[in-house]
Amino acid sequence: MSSGLSNLAIESMLNHMFATGTYSKPAGHKLHLHVADPHASGAEVDVVVDDTAYAEQTITFDDEGDTADKRVYNDALITFPAVVYGTGAAAYDVTHWSVQDGSGVLMAAGPLPTTVTRNAGEPMALNIGAIYIELERTA
């Protein structure tokens, strides 16, 4: 599941590499699920859905991006807990994911390859390498 970097991440990298700004790697990354494109202010699951078990999950990446495909991949299995409804909510569809820093700042986001319907009692797992963040070479 490929992604695009957020505007803030791009600005931080450009300032660090070419201007006077410095960039410090954020402490901790969290994977969030969304019911719409987070780049277009898509709401996160815990904001719009009555799934009382939903919580963002820690995500870590391999140490080095593959030089052939310009990507970093998640390096561990990521499991979201089984859905638990609070006050009568229905199943919901997850369409996008995002990676945010420990302060909740959007760093990257992308669509799932297919919509995932979350039903009561069902966990959701993403295998190693399922989430990747890539940079495209243009020059």
In a domain, residue 67? The reply is no
Q: Is residue 55 part of a domain?
A: yes
Pairwise pLDDT comparison (64 vs 43), residue with the higher score: 64
d(CA 75, CA 16): 26
- CB-based contact 36:112 (threshold 8 Å): no
pLDDT tens-place string over residues 60-81: 998 765 567 778 889 999 999 9
User: Is residue 69 a part of any domain in this protein?
Assistant: no
Average pLDDT, rounded, for the chain: 81
The span from the CA of 129 to the CA of 62, in Å, is 9
What is the distance between the terminal CA atoms of the chain, rounded to a whole angstrom? 24
Task: Answer whether residue 48 is part of any domain.
Answer: yes
| Phi, psi of 112, deg, nearest 5 | -75, 150
Write out the residue range of the structural domain in which residue 26 sits: 4-59+76-123
What is the Cα–Cα distance from 3 to 77, expressed in whole angstroms?
18
Number of structural domains, the chain?
Answer: 1
C-alpha torsion sign, points 79, 40, 133, 18:
negative
For the entire predicted model, the pTM comes to 0.81
Return the H-helix or E-strand segment holding 46.
helix 45-48
Q: What percent of the chain has pLDDT above 70? A: 81
Domain-embedded: residue 30: yes
